[in-house]
Amino acid sequence: MAKQNKEAYYQCVHCKQEIYWNTHKAFVECTCGKIAIDGCEDYVRVIGNMDDLKIINK
């Protein structure tokens, strides 16, 4: 996955929860459990089906 803008959020298309790309290496799951993000300044790991999320740049 390409390096993301510093203001990128990952939104679950099911529960609509937005998760900021930099979780400070914490595993953050959306409320319905379809996606999860683990990220920091060096990487972003997206867990789940890519069809279940949308990238939003704010």
Are the C-beta atoms of residues 44 and 35 closer than 8 Å to each other? no
Residue range 6-21, pLDDT digits in tens? 689 999 999 999 999 9
Q: Of 56, 3, 10, whose CA–CA distance to 37 is shortest?
A: 10
Residue range 13-58, pLDDT digits in tens? 999 999 999 999 999 999 999 999 999 999 999 999 999 999 999 8
Q: Of 17, 18, 24, 15, whose CA–CA distance to 44 is shortest?
A: 24
User: Which tokens hold the place of 15?
Assistant: 């529960």
DSSP letters, 12-57, are ETTT--EEES--TT--EE-TTSSEEEEE-SS-EEEEE-GGGEEEEE
